């Protein structure tokens, strides 16, 4: 069996579970803290692979750190889960939306603007309430529910004052009239391995488990399976968390995470997700 590394910048429950699963399956997993290493771009492929292995599980919390690590490793002949192009697409909500659109995956109506003035015009078209999201970010941070024009002006002015180029890209979505939950589906390769409802915490409209949301098992229906696998294929596949909402017209996909946390899914469903991921890594490595 080849050598596999796990690249991280924080050891969370998920990374511990992957380490335990690899031991149970007899895989010697090399742990690499991306915060303390440096890499020589000009090193030989053999030297780089002797350190990082034949395949790397990229689990950095930092989107940009993980993205650049994946680019370097792939250029050196190391397979990465998830690959660079998958992480690139899924780490940016606009890139994700464009990929899903090409695959005819149903999504909430989405408008993009690049100035405060044009964002206000877009909101007039979209209507209120509406949702403003950063194009890069996770855990529901800096996601705002905009209820009227006064709130829109205040929120957009605050974004302008951040002096962050990414925050001046205004990604606006319709507010979907749905139950107080969404659905997280985990795909591993070409399989749907688990699904759970995520319910909002009291006083919060967002369903992120990191914000106190709770999870319950969700039946894996044919419709959910077809939608999740089509979404996974649209962004390049791998180990992905696909977030869906139950709109009045059916399921819509609103986000895909390429470095998913799965503690909530694991506790809700009892599916041994870490083992499924490690087995998938071994399968990919052997191809």
Q: What structural domains and CATH numbers belong to the chain? A: 4-81+282-286 (3.40.50.20), 90-106+177-272 (3.30.470.20), 110-174 (3.30.1490.20)
Task: Tell me the average pLDDT across 223-251.
Answer: 97
User: Among residues 25, 92, 15, 105, which one has the least CA distance to residue 58?
Assistant: 15
Residue partners of 11: CB distance under 8 A and separation at least 6:
none
| Whole-angstrom distance, CA of residue 119 vs CA of residue 125 | 10
Tell whether pTM > 0.75: yes
DSSP secondary structure string, 229-280?
Answer: HHHHHHHT-SEEEEEEEEETTEEEEEEEESS---HHHHHHH---HHHHHHHH
| Whole-angstrom distance, CA of residue 1 vs CA of residue 48 | 18
103, 234 Cβ separation under 8 angstroms? yes
Task: Tell me the average pLDDT across 47-69.
Answer: 96
Residue 97: the pLDDT is 97
In sequence order, what are the beta bridge partners of 197?
183, 216
Residue 139: the pLDDT is 76
| Whole-angstrom distance, CA of residue 65 vs CA of residue 61 | 8
Structure tokens at 281: 């890594």
- Rounded to the nearest integer, the mean pLDDT of the chain is 93
């Amino acid at each position: 069996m080849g050598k596999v590394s796990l690249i991280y910048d924080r050891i969370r429950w998920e990374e511990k579970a992957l380490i335990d699963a690899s031991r149970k399956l007899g895989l010697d997993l090399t742990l690499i803290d991306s915060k303390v290493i440096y890499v020589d771009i000009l090193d030989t492929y053999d030297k780089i692979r002797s350190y990082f292995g034949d395949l790397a599980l990229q689990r950095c919390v930092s989107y940009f750190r993980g993205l650049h690590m994946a680019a370097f490793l792939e250029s050196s002949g190391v397979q990465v889960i998830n690959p660079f192009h998958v992480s690139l697409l899924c780490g940016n909500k606009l890139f994700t939306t464009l990929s899903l659109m090409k695959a005819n995956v149903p999504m909430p109506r989405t408008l993009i603007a690049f100035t405060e003035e044009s964002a206000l015009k877009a909101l007039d078209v979209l209507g209120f309430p509406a949702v403003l999201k950063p194009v890069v970010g996770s855990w529901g941070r800096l996601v705002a529910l905009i209820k009227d024009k006064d709130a829109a002006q205040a929120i957009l002015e605050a974004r302008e004052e951040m002096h962050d180029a990414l925050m001046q890209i205004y990604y606006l979505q319709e507010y979907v009239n749905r139950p107080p939950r969404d659905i997280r589906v985990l795909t591993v390769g070409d399989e749907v391995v688990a699904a759970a409802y995520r319910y909002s915490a009291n006083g919060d409209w967002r369903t992120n488990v990191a914000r106190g949301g709770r999870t319950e098992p969700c039946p894996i229906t044919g419709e959910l399976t077809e939608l999740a696998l089509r979404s996974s294929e649209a962004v390049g596949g791998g180990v992905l968390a696909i977030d869906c909402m139950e709109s009045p017209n059916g399921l819509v996909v609103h986000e895909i995470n390429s470095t998913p946390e799965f503690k909530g899914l694991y506790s809700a469903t009892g599916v041994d997700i870490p083992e499924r991921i490690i087995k998938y890594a071994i399968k990919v490595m052997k191809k």
